[in-house]
Amino acid sequence: MKHYWLAALLSMLIGYEADAMEITKYPVIESIIENLSTKHGYPKSELLQVFSQVQLRPTVVAAIKKPYEALPWHRYRQLFVTDTHIRDGMEFWTRHRETLDRAEGKFGVPQHVIVAIIGVETRYGQNMGRYRVLDSLTTLVVQYPRRRAFFSSELEQFLLLTWEEGLDPLKVKGSYAGAMGVPQFIASSYRHYAVDFNGDQRRDLIEQPEDAIGSVANYLHRHHWQAGKPIAGDAIVEKDSVVERYVTEKLKTNSTVARLTKAGISSTIPLNGASQAALVRLESGAKQEYRIVFNNFYVITKYNRSIHYAMAVFELGEELRKRRVSG
């Protein structure tokens, strides 16, 4: 996800700010080439040819320093829980109803959650990113040292992915952070969690929505989605003074429903007292909002490590589910 106004500006600049990379200036890139060649058998001559055509793009570094998730909740929510996202989501759901039925049946992940993730990520495949993934990842490796280890790994994973799947690494496009396709999988997730869900013997998250749907469901399933269990609910607080004691910003449950209930914090949905839970706070203009969240909420954060992200998926999904039930 990107800062909404910055993304528009950056997309205008993509073709204007790139500098060709001289491989010999960057030992980290030479090390990646050597590792791919010696450990995985990727022909070194091909790698040198590919990297000689990389364009370094400083705008990806600017973008990654100002992610959407840094926005206050009420502004972040306005980007994704919208009439347009709901309308397009209902159309996507109708168009792919049979595939979503099959995905839910196989992986146990509700259809409205799958649709909501794809809606938040790319507005149902309408915005999959304009950057060459190779350019983005290489730029982040050499110009963003704070996360160099992560992006170095993703760059290797990307090159292995394109090699294995027969893709041209110079043509695959995605986000400034290197996420690809309808569900915006990073390369390591693509290699480990993407599935062939339409039976054509390929895992294609860029051109095949069926594979994207199955892969999102498989990703959440593999990260321990609990079928039939809740995601989140509004918190009802009896004593304002106790709230801050229980609020957490960590991406895991730290309490139980019974403990929160004993403290005067309950939910709008019926719950088992033994259920693992947490209380989170959301900035909503001049006021604070509180939600009780559960394990499935934190499974969504495995997709994007942000409370705002998971809450947007939850709320968009709920709007889609209600619309589906009512009409």
* Residues noted as catalytic: 121
Both structure tokens of 68: 């959407």
Pairwise CA distance, residues 175 & 64, whole Å? 10
CA–centroid distance for 71 within its chain? 16
SS3 assignment, position 139? helix
Q: What stretch of H or E contains 37? A: helix 27-40
CA–centroid distance for 270 within its chain? 29
Q: Which amino acid is at 137?
A: L
Both structure tokens of 31: 């090390």
**How many Cα neighbours within 13 Å face the side chain of 251?**
14
Q: Taking each helix axis from N to C terminus, what angle separates 83-95 and 307-326, rounded to the nearest 10 degrees?
A: 60
Pairwise CA distance, residues 142 & 136, whole Å? 10
Pairwise CA distance, residues 126 & 124, whole Å? 6
Pairwise CA distance, residues 228 & 296, whole Å? 10
Question: How far is it between the farthest Cα atoms of the chain?
Answer: 67
Pairwise CA distance, residues 150 & 60, whole Å? 15
SS3 assignment, position 114? helix
Q: Which amino acid is at 134?
A: L
